[in-house]
């Protein structure tokens, strides 16, 4: 269980998050949506401890995470998998070395055990015979899947994604969304995803939190969005879907 209670965050007197309280659904996909600058990424970084909150509580299974010492936070971080927006793979390391990284950091597995786990994770994201390749030698979609393989290497209880389909073509984006949904169910993880893509929300979202100017403006299920009378949420949903339709029409025209 992950819960936020009255979380605030500001930078140089500019309020970024204002009184955010939310309970994320266990073993489900939780989507955080909102315009650029609404505070989505800052909120995600506060949840995983990359940023300290100014006020409030970040709670993992009844433990106030943001009040723990560095050592005790590390114990919880062993149960966290994170996929950053760009994938954040190490360019100078191979696919195998990238996926192995958390195993080296947090386990005492033998080299043979680590290799077995690396291959399990790569197979789970449908990557085969790419262990010795470097990130520059594989496609953007493959890089994203390698990042997911690395994130699930420790079989995490909590899985976080920051704009996981950003920069991907529509077909690859759908495949990544479905992969995230499948992994959430397979390993029974609590998944939290920052996204501005409403297709992702409707495809795999269970619970949705809408941020507007640093505040939690709406929350509910992906189906409830369709019947919301929240004007700012409706403007966001309409704008993002319209933009995608225009982009797809342009691509269709360029290829014809």
Q: Report how far apart, in Å, the C-alpha atoms of 8 and of each of 20, 62, 161 are.
A: 7, 19, 21
Tens-place pLDDT, residues 115-133: 999 999 999 999 999 999 9
- Whether the Cβ atoms of residue 207 and residue 3 lie closer than 8 Å to each other: no
pLDDT class for 3, splitting at 50, 70, 90? very high
Note the pLDDT of residue 223: 86
Confidence of residue 244 (pLDDT cuts 50, 70, 90): low
Q: What is the mean pLDDT of residues 187-201?
A: 92
Question: For residue 248, what pLDDT band results from cuts at 50, 70 and 90?
Answer: low
The 10s digit of each residue's pLDDT in 48-66 is 999 999 999 999 999 999 9
pLDDT at 11 over 70: yes
Q: What are the φ and ψ backbone dihedral angles of 47, each rounded to 5 degrees?
A: -65, -45
Least confident of 27-41, 140-154, 162-176, 232-246: 232-246
Question: What pLDDT, on a 0 to 100 scale, did the predictor assign at position 247?
Answer: 47
Please choose, from the candidates 178, 144, 156, the residue with its C-alpha nearest in 3D space to the C-alpha of residue 78.
156
Least trusted range by pLDDT, from 76-80, 131-135, 249-253: 249-253
User: Are the C-beta atoms of 132 and 93 separated by less than 8 Å?
Assistant: no
Kindly give the interhelix angle for 95-106 and 140-151, rounded to the nearest 10 degrees.
20
36 has pLDDT over 90: no
Give the rounded percent of residues in the chain with a pLDDT score beyond 90: 71
Residue 191's beta-bridge partner residues? 29, 159
Q: pLDDT digit string (tens) for 196-209?
A: 888 899 899 999 99
């Amino acid at each position: 269980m992950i819960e936020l209670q009255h979380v605030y965050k500001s930078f140089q007197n500019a309020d970024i998050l204002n009184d955010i309280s939310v309970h994320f659904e266990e073993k489900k996909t939780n989507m955080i949506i909102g315009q650029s600058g609404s505070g989505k990424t800052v909120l995600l970084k506060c949840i995983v401890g990359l940023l300290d909150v100014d006020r409030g509580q970040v709670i993992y299974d009844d433990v106030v995470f943001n009040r723990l010492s560095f050592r005790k936070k590390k114990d919880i971080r062993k149960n966290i998998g994170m996929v950053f927006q760009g994938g954040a793979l190490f360019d100078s390391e191979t696919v195998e070395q990238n996926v192995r990284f958390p195993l080296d950091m947090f386990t005492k597995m033998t080299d043979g055990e680590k290799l077995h786990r690396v291959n399990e994770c790569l197979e789970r994201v449908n990557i085969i015979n790419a262990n010795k390749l470097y990130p520059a030698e594989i496609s953007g979609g493959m890089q994203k899947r390698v990042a997911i393989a690395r994130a699930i290497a420790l079989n995490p209880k909590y899985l976080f994604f920051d704009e996981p389909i950003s920069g991907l073509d529509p077909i690859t984006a759908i495949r990544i969304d479905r992969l995230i949904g499948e992994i959430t169910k397979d390993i029974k993880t609590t998944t939290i995803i920052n996204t501005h893509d409403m297709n992702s929300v409707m495809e795999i979202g269970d619970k949705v939190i809408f941020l507007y100017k640093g505040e939690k403006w709406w929350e509910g299920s992906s189906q409830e969005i369709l019947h919301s009378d929240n004007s700012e949420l409706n403007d966001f949903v309409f704008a993002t879907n319209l933009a995608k339709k225009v982009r797809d029409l342009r691509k269709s025209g360029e290829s014809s």
